[in-house]
Amino acid sequence: MSDAQTQIDETVKAHDVVLFMKGTKSMPQCGFSSRVAGVLNYMGVEYTDVNVLADEAIRSGIKEYSDWPTIPQLYVKGEFIGGCDIVTEMTLSGELDALFEKNGVAYSKEAADKIREANA
């Protein structure tokens, strides 16, 4: 494993929820990252954000690590969940709620329900 791969692996395993994104959770730098961070922020999920724009080795390394070509990438309890489209679908279907509940990740069920109501 390269240094970047080792760093990514340690980050993913050290935190319950990790979002590799362009920008930060308070200042996303692309629409897809903004959407996923927005969902997590709105639902009150505690998560670690990793700005891939700050480190080219991490930016390319995360794509190899997950074997997934795009960013953002969401990890829960060390497991790769997906990118923007998958997280959006999971939020709207309630699968993200179930995933958080199964893994003991705190979130606002009320906020998740509001997202679904607004997108019904």
Kind of pairing between the strands at 17-21 and 79-82: unpaired
Kind of pairing between the strands at 73-76 and 17-21: antiparallel
**What is the SS3 assignment for 1?**
coil
DSSP string of 14-75, one letter each residue = HSSEEEEESB-SSSBSSHHHHHHHHHHHHTT---EEEEGGG-HHHHHHHHHHHT--SS-EEE
User: Is position 30 annotated in a ligand binding site?
Assistant: yes
Q: Which residues are annotated as a binding site for [2Fe-2S] cluster?
A: 30
- Give the residue ranges of the annotated binding site: 30
